Structure 1
Amino acid sequence: MRDKWKVEIPEEPDMEIKGNILDHEYEIESEGRKIAEVSKKWFRIRDSYGVEIEPGQDNALILAIAASLDQMAHD
């Protein structure tokens, strides 16, 4: 199942989230380029996933987006 979400922040470029939110396998893009990737494939520990953020991005914002998606998808 592939999902597509849009994040809108005033006075900032919109972000698109594409991939499988339920399985924690998705990318976050802004202005057509990948700015972060979320994946479980990097870990063998159950219920763990990682967030790889490209340099120069707002780390706290990206982590907040990932946490929010996790909460919405698994609530």
Structure 2
Amino acid sequence: MRFLVRDRLLGFGDDYWIEDEHGNKVFLIDGKAMRVRDTFELKDTQGHVLIHIHQKMFALRDTMVIERGGEPLARIKRKRLSLLRNHYRVSLVDGTELDVSGKIFDREFAVEYDGELLAVVSRRWLRVRETYGVDVVRDDADPALMIAVTVCVIHLAEKERDDD
């Protein structure tokens, strides 16, 4: 399942729709401005909050927390930085770890579990400027979680770049 995200709108305090490959609105990212920590909500088309995303306070490294139904679902933080690629670790509460690696600033990266591809984020197949796609490759992968992971990784990478 492929989703379309308008990159220029991605930011703290911004609201933007994520569309499916047919142009139908599927998810709304609601950026919460005027908060002590960076906060987003992933909502369905009826406005129900599916996933709550916020920055963890008092962490040694910038960390984003994903919650579903008020319960923690995952934590995301930078794993390591090399010259060519960024690496982030997604630790799910059940002990599962996902690896996110690639060129985050170029919107060319992958989400993997145990070496198996779950989702690909790319601008390559799109002709619309300032837009990238999130292609959820596996049928058993949770699309809302893959979108949330993408939002977190991009937010962490851009925040880190701004801090430098």
Structure 1 unaligned segments of length 5 or more: list them.
none
Match of 1:66 in 2: 150
TM-score by length of 1: 0.90
Q: Is the 8 A contact 1:8 1:14 kept in 2?
A: yes
Match of 2:121 in 1: 38
The 1-side partners of 2:105 and 2:97 are apart by 22
1:55 and 2:151 equivalent? no
Counterparts of 1:16-35 in structure 2 under 5 Å?
16-35=99-118
Check whether the contact 1:13–1:31 (CA below 8 A) recurs between aligned residues: no
Deviations 1:18-71 (A, max 9, x none): 110010001100022011100011111111000111211111100001111222
Decide which structure has greater strand share: 2
* Equivalent pair of 1:35/1:57 in contact (CA under 8 Å): yes
Tell me how far 1:72 sits from its aligned partner.
Answer: 2.2
| Identical columns (%) | 29
State the 4+ residue runs in structure 1 displaced beyond 3 angstroms.
none
Whole-angstrom CA distance in 2 between matches of 1:34 and 1:41: 17
Q: Which has the higher contact order (CA 8 A, sep 6+)?
A: 1
- For structure 2, which runs of at least 5 residues remain unmatched after alignment? 1-83, 160-164
Higher share in helix: 1
Structure whose alpha-carbon radius of gyration is higher: 2
Distance 1:52 1:12, change over 3 A: farther
Whether the 8 Å CA contact 2:91–2:97 is kept in 1: the answer is yes
Aligned pairs, how many? Answer: 75
Letter in 2 for 1:70: I
